Amino acid sequence: MRNNKTTFICSLILALVSMSSQADVYRYIDKYGHVILTDKPTHSGYKQLVKTWKGWEERKVFSKNHNWLKNQKKFDPTIRSVAKTYKLPHTLLHAVITAESSYDPNAISKAGAVGLMQLMPETAKRYGVSNRRDPKQNIYGGSRYLRYLLKLFNNDLKLVLAAYNAGEGAVKKYGNKIPPYKETQNYVKKVIKYYKKYRSSMS
């Protein structure tokens, strides 16, 4: 039984590696507990998997509810104030917050990141954030981390965003390049897209 289980796990890993190099990977667990992997999902029960620095995870999705624009306006003064303190473009903070939480101060990821800028416990502690759900503290902590990363990676925004998503260690591990994690690569593109949009739409 143990050998069969081991064989199944190895086959599962090989399938993921093979599929990930060619197409998106989706997983479905049926009522019997069987795991089905495919690159062509046939119904909404399939969940897309992405390779992150923590391993394979379901893609994180935030829904833009009716409070999205309301919260953007609500937190804008704080975002601008904090951006000025740390000499960051307020449009960059808006872009990161949009990608991270869609302005939901109570957002929690499966990895345990919390708040507007999705701070992990270690990052919050590192930058003196005692309450990650507090919008102002959260923005301060995330902004201080961005300022640190900008200095660490010589203002290379793509590397900064990759480090914010996957960790500075992951960027260093791959020779100061964006790690080969689909989630991270998509994240960098998404934030830059929002950043460009806000630079032209926010005064």
**Cα 161 from Cα 191, distance rounded (Å):** 8
Q: How confident is the model at residue 39 (pLDDT cuts 50, 70, 90)?
A: confident
| Residues 84 and 117 both lie in one domain | yes
Q: How confident is the model at residue 6 (pLDDT cuts 50, 70, 90)?
A: very low
- Does residue 16 sit within a domain? yes
Question: Looking at residue 12, what is its pLDDT?
Answer: 53
According to DSSP, residue 9 is labeled H
**Cα 65 from Cα 61, distance rounded (Å):** 12
Residue 95, φ and ψ in degrees, nearest 5: -65, -45
Whole-number percent of the chain with pLDDT over 90 = 61
The residue among 62, 182, 85, 184 whose CA lies nearest residue 142 is 85
For the annotated catalytic residues, the residue numbers are 100
Containing domain of residue 118, as a range? Answer: 68-201
| Residues 84 and 175 both lie in one domain | yes
Which residue has better confidence, 127 or 53?
127
Looking at the 3D structure of the chain, how many domains does it have? Answer: 2
Average pLDDT over residues 19-45: 69
Lowest mean pLDDT among 22-31, 82-91, 130-139, 160-169: 22-31
Average pLDDT over residues 113-133: 95
In order of 3, 26, 56, 117, 171, the CA distances from 13 in angstroms are 15, 13, 10, 32, 24
Residue 85, φ and ψ in degrees, nearest 5: -60, -40
Whether pLDDT at 156 is above 80: yes
| Residues 73 and 39 both lie in one domain | no
H or E element that contains 104:
none
Whole-number percent of the chain with pLDDT over 70 = 78
Which residue has better confidence, 170 or 50?
170
Mean pLDDT, the chain, integer: 84
Task: Tell if the pTM clears 0.85, that is, is over it.
Answer: no
pLDDT per position as a tens digit, 91-112: 999 999 999 999 999 998 877 8
According to DSSP, residue 119 is labeled B
| Residues 159 and 95 both lie in one domain | yes
CATH number at residue 169: 1.10.530.10
pLDDT per position as a tens digit, 56-75: 776 665 444 558 889 999 99
**Cα 110 from Cα 90, distance rounded (Å):** 27
- Does residue 13 sit within a domain? yes
